[in-house]
Amino acid sequence: MKHLKNGFRGERSIVLPQMIIEMEKADPLVSSLYLTDIGYYPAASYHFRKREVGIDQHVLIYCVEGSGWYLLNGERHQVKANQFFILPAGIPHSYGADSQDPWTIYWVHFTGAHSTFYATGDNLPRDVKPNINSRISDRNHIFEEIFSTLYEGHSLENLRYVSSLLHYYLASMRYLHLFRHAQRHDSDEDTNVVKAAIHYMKENIEKKLSIEEAARYTGYSASHFSALFQQQTQHSPLQYFNLLKVQQAALMLQETDMKINQICFKVGIEDCCYFSRLFTKVTGLSPTQYRKQKASETSPSEQ
């Protein structure tokens, strides 16, 4: 199988130095659960890893788009969008992206005294599909907070905060039902088709979404759904979805150091030129101009 030598377009990853890992092991709080590696690979063509000897960490792979596979204990498993799996520490394994429909994945290597509580029993792919109670965007925000905290530095305070967030992130999958129902929607909102559709759009912000898919989610025909959506929002469903993508991109431009070609993947747009045109059309500023303007607004004024 072909290996990609130069990484994936839009990828982000952090591998902690051994010195920092030793700090994690030595701290009574962090040692309960800590990570050693973390990353995000969008549309990861030719992604493949084979470990003939098991490693010391559990490996979580969360597929949000596309598909892939993994081999564990002699059994091969297919992985689709909105599924995750955890490879247990100490066991040889291999995994990779589908050659025709390569996956987009969040991944974490984790270990610690309590890590097996999260890792045990998830060797098979588990579903994390969008529905009215799903909180996929919340989970992805937790991931980004872990990533940005590590990116800022490896102080003991940062490592303790990351450990706490990692408990929450893994629990959001391990205890999926509880995570989803911790924030219940009221009955009026549950029955509101447009609000349900907007929630579905937000949960799929990293993907392409057709009118037919959104309509099918609400149980309406595409024509009826589009007319209802237009009536209540003054936008077509796809226009509104693009507005949500730009809104999310603007937030990341303002609050993160992510490169523009990384942000466009995070909002489900692989063509960076198209992303820039869409962003400019909606905001009146290019992504670069927007970031500079927001930076100048928050920086101390010159004396």
**Cα separation, 281 vs 249, whole angstroms:** 13
Q: Which residues contact 226 (CB under 8 A, 6 or more apart)?
A: 211, 215, 236, 237
Q: What is the pLDDT of residue 299?
A: 60
Asked whether 246 and 282 are in contact (CB, 8 A), the reply is yes
Q: Which CATH superfamily is domain 12-181 in?
A: Regulatory protein AraC (2.60.120.280)
pLDDT for the residue 255: 86
> Which of the residues in the chain have pLDDT under 70?
1-8, 122, 183-191, 298-303
Q: CA 122, CA 173: separation in Å to the nearest integer?
A: 10
Write down the CATH superfamily of domain 189-296: Homeodomain-like (1.10.10.60)
Which of 50, 96, 44 shows the shortest CA–CA distance to 69?
A: 96
For residue 3, what pLDDT is reported?
Answer: 35
Domain map of the chain by residue range? Answer: 12-181, 189-296
Q: Are 255 and 151 in contact (CB under 8 A)?
A: no
CA-based radius of gyration for the chain: 20
Residue 67 · residue 78 · CB < 8 Å: yes
pTM: 0.71
pLDDT at 188: 45
